Amino acid sequence: MVVILGLEGTAWNLSAALVTEDRVIHEVESPYRPLHGGIHPREAAQHHAAELKRVVSQLIEKAQDARFSICDIDGVAFSQGPGLGPCLRTVATAARALALALNVPLIGVNHCIAHIEIGRWRCGTEDPVVLYVSGANSQVLTYHTGRYRIIGETLDIGIGNALDKFARYVGLKHPGGPKVEELAAQGTRYIHLPYVVKGMDFSFTGLTTAAKDAVDAGNSLADVCYSFQETAFAMLTEVTERAMAYCGKDEMLLAGGVGANRRLQQMLHTMCTDRGARFFVPESKYLKDNGAMIAYLGLLQLRTGQTLPIEDSAVRPNFRPDEVEVKWR
Ligand code: AMP
Ligand code: MG
């Protein structure tokens, strides 16, 4: 049995988990919640630094209840990128220290691929087209000849970031995504907002500005939230469907924190059903940023020998998923 300790802390959630081949042994997290405004990279990193010892100690303690000891750990995996520089560096430092102290391999994983692999693992989907929608990232990907290829992506900000920026503007606390979803459920009138799909890519900044303007113009907040979701999610669904047609794949996997949105799930589910494809979405705890996904991808990479010497373990804030050679598939 192989046991991997995974550390996630690319942005808002500091999370540590122990994973083995067939299950998540335990996970402990400490989310950073900004007092005002959005995620401040240095504040988030300070939060992670202050919480790392408690989170990891608690994980080890809980694992002991499940009859696992620190000596059982075969590797330490961490999110090497993409993410916020100060957060990445803080968590990488902890991961290096743990790997050295335990004398086990250090495994640097790509955060986006970790979202995909935990989804495939939890849902049992073999070869899906993936819609990965989180705060900073929005991409449509699929596996082809040894890599996850990015078929389409945002040309500016991620959809989660767009929702959060809009929400903050109208006075809602971070993170705004779930609050926009609640308000949208009460909306009844569709207000025209910019629908921006260019080829296989999409863009959200114009939509965010137009939504702010629509609120300033006196439209009801619920109607604007409703229209924002309908527009943005239709864009994402259109590109995902085209990617499925293009690649001839009949499975679709949703990944990333915004994937918790029921309206987005509903649109994608309808699209998949209409084309005779299967739609997969993992439990919410595996959609958002979590340590288990890092540990799980670490486990896959340890098997294929994709570990890191300490001297090559610098963080990669702009690490793209198609830079990784996928040897475990
Ligand atoms: P992640 O970076 O993958 O953990 O995702 C975080 C992002 O997901 C934030 O931008 C949140 O606002 C967004 N989010 C979380 N829940 C929802 C939801 N129900 N609807 C829309 N966005 C959400
Ligand atoms: Mg993420």
User: Is the model's pTM score more than 0.95?
Assistant: yes
Tokens of 64: 């002991």
Q: Which ligand is nearest to the CA of 157?
A: 1
What number is the average pLDDT over the span 139-165?
Answer: 98
Residue 196: which domain range? 127-285
**What pLDDT does 66 receive?**
86
245-262 tens-digit pLDDT: 999 999 999 999 999 999
Whether residue 241 contacts residue 140, with contact meaning beta carbons closer than 8 Å, is answered with no
31 and 16 together in one domain: yes
Residue 60 CB neighbours (<10 A):
18
- Whether residue 328 is contained in a domain is answered as no
Among 134, 55, 114, smallest CA distance to 90 is for 55
270 and 153 together in one domain: yes
189-220 tens-digit pLDDT: 999 999 999 999 999 999 999 999 999 999 99
- Which CATH number goes with the domain that contains 159? 3.30.420.40
Q: For every residue of the chain, which 3-state class applies, written as one string?
A: CCEEEEEECCCCEEEEEEEECCEEEEEEEEECCCCCCCCCHHHHHHHHHHHHHHHHHHHHHHHHHCCCCHHHCCEEEEEEECCCHHHHHHHHHHHHHHHHHHCCCEEEEEHHHHHHHHHHHHHCCCCCEEEEECCCCEEEEEEECCEEEEEEEECCCCHHHHHHHHHHHCCCCCCCHHHHHHHHCCCCCCCCCCCCEECCEECCHHHHHHHHHHHHCCCCHHHHHHHHHHHHHHHHHHHHHHHHHHHCCCEEEEECHHHHCHHHHHHHHHHHHHCCCEEECCCHHHCCCCHHHHHHHHHHHHHCCCCECHHHCCCCCCCCHHHCCCCCC
295 phi and psi angles, rounded to 5 deg: -65, -40
Cis check: omega of the bond before 175, within 30 degrees of 0: yes
Q: Which atom of ligand 1 is nearest to the CA of 137?
A: 2
Residues bordering ligand 2, an ion, CB closer than 5 Å: 134, 289
How are beta strands 106-110 and 75-81 bridged, if at all?
parallel
CA 262 / ligand 1 centre spacing (Å): 12
The whole-angstrom separation of Cα 266 and Cα 264 is 5
The whole-angstrom separation of Cα 317 and Cα 152 is 20
Q: Which ligand is nearest to the CA of 287?
A: 1
- Whether residue 240 is contained in a domain is answered as yes
The whole-angstrom separation of Cα 101 and Cα 123 is 35
CA 256 / ligand 2 centre spacing (Å): 5
Ligand 1 pocket (Cβ < 6 Å) reads 11, 134-135, 160, 163-164, 175-178, 181, 256-258, 260-261, 288-289
What number is the average pLDDT over the span 144-157?
Answer: 98
CA 68 / ligand 1 centre spacing (Å): 32
- Whether residue 121 is contained in a domain is answered as no
Arithmetic mean of pLDDT over the chain: 97
CA 81 / ligand 2 centre spacing (Å): 10
Whether residue 72 contacts residue 269, with contact meaning beta carbons closer than 8 Å, is answered with no
How are beta strands 75-81 and 3-8 bridged, if at all?
parallel
What number is the average pLDDT over the span 52-77?
Answer: 95
CA 87 / ligand 1 centre spacing (Å): 18
Q: Which amino acid is at 113?
A: I
Could you identify the residue written with the tokens 């990669």? Answer: 316
- Whether residue 178 is contained in a domain is answered as yes
179 and 79 together in one domain: no
Q: Whose CA is nearest to atom 12 of ligand 1?
A: 177
139 and 28 together in one domain: no
Phi-psi region of 127 (alpha: psi -120 to 50; beta: other; left: phi over 0): beta
Residue 123 CB neighbours (<10 A):
20
The whole-angstrom separation of Cα 19 and Cα 291 is 9
281 and 132 together in one domain: yes
63 phi and psi angles, rounded to 5 deg: -65, -30
Per the structure, the count of domains in the chain is: 2
152 and 243 together in one domain: yes
280 and 300 together in one domain: no
